[in-house]
A and B are shown apart, each in its own frame.
Chain A
Amino acid sequence: MTDISRDDVQHLAQLSSLALSDQEIDDLRIDIGNILGYINQLSELDTTGVEPTYQVSGLENVWREDKIDDYGLGRDELLALAPESANGQIKVPKVL
């Protein structure tokens, strides 16, 4: 296992927008340490001069018309999915 600290976990949680409880931080510290311990084996592999693979379909430059298609979905329908809305806008807590 790879040793990571509670602070490391808290930093990762912040990067991930997760408000974890103290218990979750303790548990995830161990889990993440174990997972990193496993994936660290990849450093043994010699990849000098190897190009990375980002996609496997072989497709290149898939073009389409520069035309708006709403796929049959209207503004009101999508707005109705928001947990809170008012005056045709999505409502959120105070930002500033």
Chain B
Amino acid sequence: MTKIADYISKSARQNVLEAIKRANDKNEYHALLSLTEARALERADAVDRGEISGRLAGVPFVVKDNFLAFGAPTTAASRMLEGFKSPLQATAVEKLEAEGAICIGKANLDAFAHGGSTENSAFGPTLNAYDKTKVAGGSSGGSAVVTALDIVPFALGSDTGGSIRQPASFNGVVGVKPTYGTVSRYGVVAMASSTDTIGCFATDAADAELIMDIMAGKDDKDMTTLPNFFEPTAIKSGLKIGLIKDTMTDDVDADVRQVTSDYVARLKAAGHEVSDVAMPIAQHALAMYYIIVPAEVSSNLARYDGIRYGHRAEGVTSLAQLYGKSRDEGFVTENKRRIMIGSYVLSSGFFDAYYLQAQKARTLLINEFDKLFEEYDVLIGPTTPTPAFGLGENTADPVKMYLADIMTVPASLAGLPAISVPAGKSATGLPIGVQLVGPRRSDADLLALAKSMETA
């Protein structure tokens, strides 16, 4: 697979034309919802004339289609925002463009980023880069697949409960979910504000580090951003690493466990100390997640009412009908499930038993992580319980679909940085990733470890 460096100092126009040709050649994967060709070529010419320069001059990339970006509509893979032409761009996109990067297209996702397979896209699923009968993962499935297919050297995604790490694992690329607050979310369609993060896909950890270094930092347009702490760093020797044994039980696919054990053996060979740790509360993390996130979803998605922008239903006579019908037509089933679960857990009589209980349980989860990080520098485990599953395999059973997130949601609820790195393949040739989780603001240390392991 290509690296960012392979595109630097070349004709930006040629880079863009070739990336668009690759995208068109790989059309059958349905990884992209739109191309931004005209604008990309304009920007490429400006780079070639020397008017735009920087660390990513002339490098093509793709954004998940929940980032507001010029050149094509931002749809969030929904009928609700079909054709929505944004008057502004996300801060993350602006920062990359300021370094000369060129967005060539917008990637498919589960509508409003609700899902773990990209099958909830209103425009049809994305296929796995390694096996077209398997899912891409999600919700950032399109971004993972364009990176894995080498259409572009990096792509942007959002990760609320695993939406970058899980598809990265399913498609054999690096996926970074930073510490909560690292990258501005201004201009990205909000899902669950207490866990939404912006990150990236790349073909190796060094490229991911460069992209995170550019995107990180405080933004006055997003009051939850942290003062910039991200500083690329060298690998520390002799790290203390905890293997979360609750993620290595018999319920987990045997190939996934084997690949994880092999990666652990390589960590030991590289001089790190790895021991088993227990995280009993992790078994409850998915239940917390599917209370807290739907609650925030129901609130964040209230803005889609057919009035100020987005889909408006035809033939309605009252305001209530306009809201109800516009939302029924504009959302996919999974959006409706989450909004209604959110309404349920927040409604009077149930609030204490669900939402408040989940937010208290979240404190217990954070305390357990903090305690482990007093003793360990990094925690490791598989990114997902299985390699990519079959298209249609889990669509009839939402709970089964949710279980694919069981290993990624704990870091999201605690706001911790977590990255998925390619670690091996299953017997049938599907990629398998392992997840590295660190204390808050240890993002650069995790990437340094991942970099060192790529050459170990």
Measuring CB to CB, which residues of chain A are less than 8 angstroms from any residue of chain B? 9, 12-13, 15-21, 24, 27-28, 31-32, 34-43, 45, 47, 50-59, 62, 64, 71-73, 77-78, 81-84, 90, 92-95
In the complex, chain B residues 302-361 whose Cβ is within 8 Å of any chain A Cβ: 302, 305-312, 316-325, 327-328, 331, 333, 336-337, 339-345, 347, 353-354, 356-361
Report the bound CA distance from A42 to B84 in whole Å.
Answer: 39
Report the bound CA distance from A57 to B302 in whole Å.
Answer: 25
Contact between B363 and A32, CB atoms less than 8 A apart: no
Give chain A residues whose Cβ lies under 8 Å from the Cβ of B309.
81-83
Q: Which of B288, B323, B362, B398 is within 8 Å of A34, CB to CB?
A: B398
Give chain A residues whose Cβ lies under 8 Å from the Cβ of B250.
none
Contact between B360 and A47, CB atoms less than 8 A apart: yes
Interchain nearest-CB distance for B313 vs A (Å): 8
Interface of B is mostly: helix
Report the bound CA distance from A43 to B298 in whole Å.
Answer: 22
9 shortest interchain CB distances as A-B pairs: A19-B324, A56-B415, A52-B359, A83-B312, A47-B360, A81-B309, A17-B323, A15-B343, A50-B360
Give chain A residues whose Cβ lies under 8 Å from the Cβ of B347.
12, 15
Interface residues on B, range: 35 or more
Contact between B87 and A73, CB atoms less than 8 A apart: yes
Listed A/B pairs (25) with beta-carbon separation below 8 Å: A12-B347, A13-B340, A15-B343, A16-B339, A18-B336, A18-B339, A19-B328, A21-B328, A24-B328, A28-B333, A28-B337, A31-B333, A32-B340, A34-B398, A42-B288, A47-B361, A50-B363, A53-B363, A55-B224, A58-B440, A71-B221, A81-B84, A81-B308, A82-B308, A83-B307
Give chain A residues whose Cβ lies under 8 Å from the Cβ of B284.
41-42, 45
Q: Which of A27, A78, A82, A84 is within 8 Å of B87, CB to CB?
A: A78
Contact between A19 and B180, CB atoms less than 8 A apart: no
Give chain B residues whose Cβ lies under 8 Å from the Cβ of A52.
356, 359-360, 362-363
